[in-house]
Amino acid sequence: SKVPPIILNNGIEMPQLGFGVWQVPDDEAEQAVTTALESGYRSVDTASLYENEEGTGRAIAKSGIARDKLFVTTKLRNRHQGYDATLRAFDESLAKLGLDHVDLYLIHWPMPAKDTYIDTYKAFEKILADGRAKSIGVSNFLPEHLDRLIDATSVIPAVNQIELHPHLQQRASRAYHGEQGIATEAWSPLGQGKGLLEVPAIVAIAQKHGRTPAQIVLRWHLQLGTVVIPKSVTPSRIKENIEVFDFELDPEDMAAISALNEDRRLGPDPAAFEAP
């Protein structure tokens, strides 16, 4: 494959770059995922919430790519938290994907005020033990949520998928994950394409390397060691976003991008977000 793996804390390999499908309607997801798989992506990030597990699954089925060469992630939506509801929701996700296992199953948001993520994760541990998810993890968990989860359960999450891009660099979470052996996966790695790709420092580095701003930002993540899952439905951009393994940023490029941190979220605050 074009994309090198990282090794998760359970010894399983995860491609360091995958394809995200948030906000891709189900009837467009099949084409977008097909283009991604044809372009060399082997990891796909969907979620029950995205309502495109079926289109994603159709693309996987018709790709003809061996199942063990693919890495499929889906997520448990908030309203299905709780032990029994999680087991039912997982069955439904597998059926929609048309798969007998996923590679990674994530709790989408912690919803700390609801206080159901521990029971939810215990169901994840059962799904893991049954071999129906090869790895389990979380998304949008703050270190305080992870502390509590790790105290109350037996399997340290393999991954925490969090909002992360040059304007929100998440240094505290990344350091915490490093101590615990949790892989950091960046959502909205391109800052949703809003503004970040026009920042002069990034444009200048792109010109210097003869690359696009999106490729520069993705390279910054990869060199930090983060897993990235950029999204696009435009075939040329889908291809562009995976053509990032044949050049490197210099230390001064990395430093210039790391200087852009503003601790500014595009998405909700994980301490408060509960819908839907």
Backbone phi, then psi, for 165, in 5-degree steps?
Answer: -165, 175
Q: How many residues belong to the site for ligand NAD (CB under 6 A)?
A: 26
Taking CA atoms, 171 is separated from 47, 68, 188, in Å, by 26, 33, 16
* Region near ligand NAD per CB under 6 A, out of 17-25, 33-41, 77-85, 152-160: 17-25
Contacts of 49 (CB under 8 A, 6+ apart): 75, 77, 78, 108, 276
Using CB under 6 A, which of 17, 76, 190, 244 touches ligand NAD? 190
Does 241 help bind ligand NAD (rule: CB under 6 A)?
yes
**Alpha helix (H) ranges present in the chain?**
26-38, 53-63, 83-97, 117-129, 143-152, 171-180, 200-209, 213-224, 235-240, 251-258
Does 78 help bind ligand NAD (rule: CB under 6 A)?
no
Neighbouring C-beta atoms of residue 129, cutoff 10 Å: 11
Least spacing, CB of residue 156 vs ligand NAD, in Å = 19
- First vs last C-alpha separation in the chain: 36
Beta carbon nearer to ligand NAD, 148 or 237 = 237
Q: What angle do the packed helices 171-180 and 143-152 form, to 10 degrees? A: 20
Least spacing, CB of residue 72 vs ligand NAD, in Å = 12
**Catalytic-labelled residue, pool 50, 117, 121, 176:** 50
Does 189 help bind ligand NAD (rule: CB under 6 A)?
yes
Using CB under 6 A, which of 1, 192, 223, 261 touches ligand NAD? 192
List the structure tokens of 166: 């040059």
- Counting DSSP H helices and E strands in the chain, the numbers are 10, 10
Least spacing, CB of residue 251 vs ligand NAD, in Å = 24
Does 188 help bind ligand NAD (rule: CB under 6 A)?
yes
The residues that bridge with 160 in the sheet, in sequence order, are 138, 184
Does 31 help bind ligand NAD (rule: CB under 6 A)?
no
Question: In the annotation, is 176 catalytic?
Answer: no
Does 22 help bind ligand NAD (rule: CB under 6 A)?
yes
Q: By the criterion CB under 6 A, which residues form the site for ligand NAD? A: 20-22, 45, 108, 139-140, 161, 187-193, 197, 212, 214, 229-232, 237, 240-241, 267
Task: Catalogue the active-site residues.
Answer: 50
